[in-house]
């Protein structure tokens, strides 16, 4: 079976003071190959925990997780991660960063060269390939991170707030780039964001999670990611359904935040 299957996943963190946090409870989810899913939810609802479990960085307390029919038991190049910032190798050039995965697999320039250059073209960094990471803007650094992830040819790309540290204009350009990469590579992508607009634009499926215990609250199937592949994202945002969904989801998350704030510390 191809794709990602998550079945009744739960994660409980036991704390040194004897209490515990139920970060996820009974999360079930199927993601077909090539699907693009965005994940939204109030702070602390378990989004990063879910992604870390799929990445294999964390073992769940209970539940099952399979990719293409086999159990996920630890990190593997089949699942690539793109972090918010700061996960690049500062002492390497752009091209050395992007070719890192293939080089670790023992490949030489002859084997990976053309593909790495192709990826640098796609993310628009061909002219910067010999530069050091510190010479790049934040948006450029995130493009290096995307290209480096793709160079490993993962089946699934996991992104935790990948555009969260960027200014509004750069962020918009990067949103278009994510859609372009998704269409060109056919990768399965899970993208966490705090921005309702970004989740609407970058999710053909959008998952809204609820906190304490972290769980799936609601799921949407949306037309905007497909529309955004061939269209300016500002035009996509003018779609009548876009505004409607944005208001609905903003209200939903607002209510959850209110509920969390309204509870006493013990109940949290
Ligand atoms: N290693 C850990 N040990 C103990 N508790 C943890 C650990 N990691 C996460 N938690 C707790 O689990 C819950 C979910 O955390 P998580 O980081 O997954 O939330 P999130 O949805 O990613 O939040 P944010 O939007 O702020 O990034 C939180 O209550 C958090 O305090
Ligand atoms: Mg998080």
Q: What pLDDT shows up at residue 1?
A: 64
- Angle at alpha carbon of residue 68, lines to 64 and 74, rounded to 5°: 55
**Ligand 2 centroid distance, CA of 160 (Å):** 7
Buried b (16+ CB within 10 A) or exposed e, 4-39: bbbeebbbeeeeeeeeebbbbbebebebeebbbbbb
Q: What pLDDT shows up at residue 145?
A: 93
Q: Are 115 and 151 in contact (CB under 8 A)?
A: yes
Ligand nearest to the CA of 41: 1
Q: Provide the pLDDT confidence category of residue 83 given band limits of 50, 70 and 90.
A: confident
For ligand 1, atom 31, which residue shows the shortest CA distance?
44
Ligand 1 neighbour 44 (Cβ under 6 A): yes
Mind listing the pLDDT tens digit for each residue in 99-135?
A: 999 999 999 999 999 999 999 988 889 999 999 999 9
Q: Provide the pLDDT confidence category of residue 138 given band limits of 50, 70 and 90.
A: confident
Ligand 1 neighbour 48 (Cβ under 6 A): yes
CB neighbours of residue 235 within 10 Å: 10
Ligand 1 neighbour 61 (Cβ under 6 A): no
**Ligand 2 centroid distance, CA of 50 (Å):** 9
| Stretch (H or E) spanning 82 | strand 79-82
Mind listing the pLDDT tens digit for each residue in 167-187?
A: 888 889 889 999 999 999 999
| Domain ranges, ordered by start, for the chain | 1-78+156-193+204-254, 85-153
Mind listing the pLDDT tens digit for each residue in 231-246?
A: 999 999 999 999 999 9
Q: Check: pTM over 0.85? Answer yes or no.
A: yes
Mutate to test the pocket of ligand 1, among 15, 24, 48, 268 (most ligand atoms within 8 A of CB): 48
For ligand 1, atom 9, which residue shows the shortest CA distance?
49
Q: Provide the pLDDT confidence category of residue 259 given band limits of 50, 70 and 90.
A: confident
Q: Report the alpha-carbon distance of residue 180 to residue 170 in Å, rounded.
A: 15
CATH number, span 1-78+156-193+204-254: 3.40.50.300
Ligand nearest to the CA of 43: 1
Q: What is the 3-state composition of the chain as percent helix, strand, coil, each rounded to the nearest 5?
A: 45, 25, 35
What is the pLDDT of the chain when averaged over all its residues? 92
Ligand nearest to the CA of 46: 1
For ligand 1, atom 5, which residue shows the shortest CA distance?
13
Q: Are 193 and 176 in contact (CB under 8 A)?
A: no
Peptide bond into 233 cis (omega under 30): no
Q: What pLDDT shows up at residue 263?
A: 65
Residue that wins the pLDDT comparison between 86 and 66: 66
Q: What pLDDT shows up at residue 201?
A: 97
Smallest CA-to-CA distance from 86 within 73, 77, 97, 99 is with 97
Ligand 1 neighbour 49 (Cβ under 6 A): yes
Smallest CA-to-CA distance from 79 within 62, 97, 58, 108 is with 58
Show Cβ contacts of residue 38 under 8 Å, excluding neighbours closer than 6 positions.
Answer: 190, 191, 192, 193, 198, 199, 200, 202, 203, 205, 206, 207
Ligand 1 neighbour 67 (Cβ under 6 A): no
Ligand 1 neighbour 47 (Cβ under 6 A): yes
Ligand 1 neighbour 13 (Cβ under 6 A): yes
Alpha helix locations (H) across 77-167? 94-98, 100-104, 109-122, 138-151
């Amino acid at each position: 079976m191809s794709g990602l299957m998550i079945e009744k996943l739960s994660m409980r963190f036991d704390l040194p003071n004897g209490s515990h946090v139920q970060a996820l409870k009974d999360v079930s989810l199927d993601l077909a190959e090539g699907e693009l899913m965005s994940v939204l939810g109030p702070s602390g609802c378990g989004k990063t925990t879910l992604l870390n479990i799929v990445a294999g960085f964390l073992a769940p307390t209970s539940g099952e997780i399979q990719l293409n029919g086999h159990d996920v038991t630890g990190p593997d190049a089949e699942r690539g991660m793109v972090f918010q910032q700061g996960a690049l190798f500062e002492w390497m050039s752009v091209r050395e960063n992007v070719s890192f995965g293939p080089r670790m697999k023992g490949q030489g320039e002859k084997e990976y060269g053309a593909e790495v250059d192709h990826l640098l073209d796609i993310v628009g960094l061909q002219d910067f390939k010999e530069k050091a990471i510190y010479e790049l803007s934040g948006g450029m650094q995130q493009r290096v991170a995307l290209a480096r992830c793709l160079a490993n040819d993962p089946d699934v790309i996991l992104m935790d707030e990948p555009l969260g540290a960027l200014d509004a204009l750069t962020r918009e350009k990067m949103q278009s780039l994510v859609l372009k990469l998704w269409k060109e590579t056919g990768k399965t992508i899970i993208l966490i964001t705090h921005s309702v607009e970004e989740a609407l634009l970058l999710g053909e499926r959008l998952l809204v999670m609820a906190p304490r215990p972290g769980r799936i609250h609601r799921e949407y199937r949306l037309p905007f990611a497909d529309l955004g592949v061939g269209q300016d994202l500002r035009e996509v945002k003018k779609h009548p359904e876009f505004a409607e969904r944005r208001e609905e989801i903003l209200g939903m998350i607002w209510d959850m935040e209110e509920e969390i704030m309204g509870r006493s510390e013990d109940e949290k």
